[in-house]
Amino acid sequence: MTTSTRSETQLRDQLCLLAASLFDRGVTHGATGNISARTADGGLLVSPTGTSFGRLDPDRLSRFGPDGRLVGGDPPTKEMPLHTAFYDTRDSAAAVVHLHSCHAVAWSMRSKVDPDNLLPPLTPYSIMKLGKVKLLPFFLPGDGAMGEAVRALAGKRSAVVLANHGPVVAATSLEAACDAIEELEQTARLALLLEGPPADGGFNALTDNQVSAVVEAFDVEWN
């Protein structure tokens, strides 16, 4: 087995292992969500259409060549436009994860949110791992317009949430992408737990100065 073959085998195994971890802990469910990773030759490994994160087969992952053509495995997720939009607009993207996670979807359905900065600054960690999260409008599942909406951001967001649908995160590795999308889901969960302000006027989010300090200290993309 060559080094490149061994590396791809490890990547396939890691993708399935991390996906199963998300599924087993209830971050995603059923046959929802999709995940992809950049291969050493510039191609992609992608979860096939209609598959569950809990039961991915490393040998059946959709395999795209560097030219974007499907060269092996099962047919890919119908959300490929989302994945390719992130890879094409963010040079640092080595993995993309899209979930239908419950709390992030619920938060996207609130009528009073900032679509340019969806998550309230409750902890420093969502800021560090995600930067500003953009709320995108509702699209039909599989609509190529979702990818165009991501492209319109010109690489300025590593994380978005599709309204009434779910979050999408790009990162520099599979592990980083999974960690970041979990941070997004847990921040949305925190926000929902704190919703319904008590008589004293609500919860104590980070101040603008505190947010700025986190952004500067951890070199966060924030514009």
61-83, pLDDT tens digit by residue? 999 999 999 999 999 999 999 99
Question: pTM higher than 0.85, yes or no?
Answer: yes
User: Looking at residue 19, which CATH number applies to its domain?
Assistant: 3.40.225.10
**Does the pLDDT of residue 198 top 50, yes or no?**
no
- Is 160 within a domain? yes
- What is the per-residue pLDDT for 52? 98
The domain total for the chain is 1
- What pairing do the DSSP bridges indicate for beta strands 34-38 and 95-98? antiparallel
- What is the per-residue pLDDT for 203? 67
- Is 159 within a domain? yes
- Is 223 within a domain? no
- Is 164 within a domain? yes
- Is 222 within a domain? no
- Is 109 within a domain? yes
Question: 157 is in which domain, residue-wise?
Answer: 3-217
* pLDDT tier for residue 174 given thresholds of 50, 70 and 90: very high
Q: Using only C-alpha atoms, what is the Rg of the chain?
A: 18
**Catalytic machinery residues:** 125
Average pLDDT over residues 34-61: 97
Pick the range with the lowest mean pLDDT from 9-23, 159-173, 195-209. 195-209
- Walk across the sheet containing 34-38 and list its strands: 70-72, 62-64, 44-46, 34-38, 95-98, 166-171, 159-162, 134-136
Average pLDDT over residues 23-40: 97
